[in-house]
Amino acid sequence: MRIRLLYIFTAILFASAVQAQEKAPVIGLSATYETGENNVPNTYIISVRKAGGIPVILPVTDDPQVIARMVESIDGLILTGGEDVDPLRWYGEEPIPAMGGIVPIRDFFDIHLARAAVERGIPVLGICRGEQVLNVAFGGTLYQDIPSQVKSDKPVKHRQNAPREYGTHSIIVTRETTLFDILKDVLDKDNSYRVNSYHHQAVKDVAPGFVVSAVARDGVIEAIEMEGNPNVLGVQFHPEGPVSQGDDRLLSLFLHLIKAAR
């Protein structure tokens, strides 16, 4: 009898564990493809796991049907960082000399992935290039190169020479936005926060239906979010950097995504 009860108890524990694991939402991570290989930095994977999600790498493809099936299989989406977006194809601007490298198939993949996820009602977090992709996917444009195109009497260095977990410049978060609600517990008195920075492109014309939720001191847009949809937002900085190294002040961004994905 005791052995039978032990088996029953063990089975109940196992079933509970499986059920708890099944409740963890599956978060798709868009892969980079610059070298012809599908990769995602481990910092994203660690951050999703810390927030309670199951990370899955989504390999790059230019097949719309495959992209649609990918979106059907995930509960949330993170558009990761990486290369520049082709300006001529995606927002009708000739490339300037200072523009960086592009990967056409990844542009197609990320932009169609973003559109499909939003259409299906799946929460989306765009990070760095991911924020830029969100903006372009819905009709916005980019500064192809901040140093040569953005003029400010308070210039800010947006490509740091420092560890990824270290913040080098501040952003000002706009009140009454989703981002403010997510970060309000870590903001300074002037609603600022110190972030890391690894980019030379940035949002220029904000896509219709999106609003700005944070800017740098030089006016460069550091975050956007969809009006009326608190589960679609993009940030120019890399929250996965500090989170993966044990600094959980920006973990709330991933927790917000996981909560929405549930």
Catalytic residue among 128, 169, 225, 256: 128
238 in active site: yes
Catalytic residue among 158, 199, 200, 238: 238
Residue 147 backbone dihedrals phi, psi, to 5 degrees: -55, -35
256 in active site: no
> DSSP letters of the chain?
-HHHHHHHHHHHHHHHHHHHHHHSPEEEEEPB-TTSS-B--HHHHHHHHHTT-EEEEE-----HHHHHHHHHT-SEEEE---SBP-HHHHH--PPPTT---B-HHHHHHHHHHHHHHHHHT--EEEETHHHHHHHHHTT--EES-HHHH---SS----B-SS-TTS--EEEEEPSSSHHHHHHTTT--TTSEEEE--B-S-EE-SPPTTEEEEEEETTS-EEEEEETT-TTEEEESS-THHHHHTT-GGGHHHHHHHHHHH-
Catalytic residue among 83, 131, 222, 240: 240
240 in active site: yes
Q: Which residues are catalytic?
A: 128, 238, 240
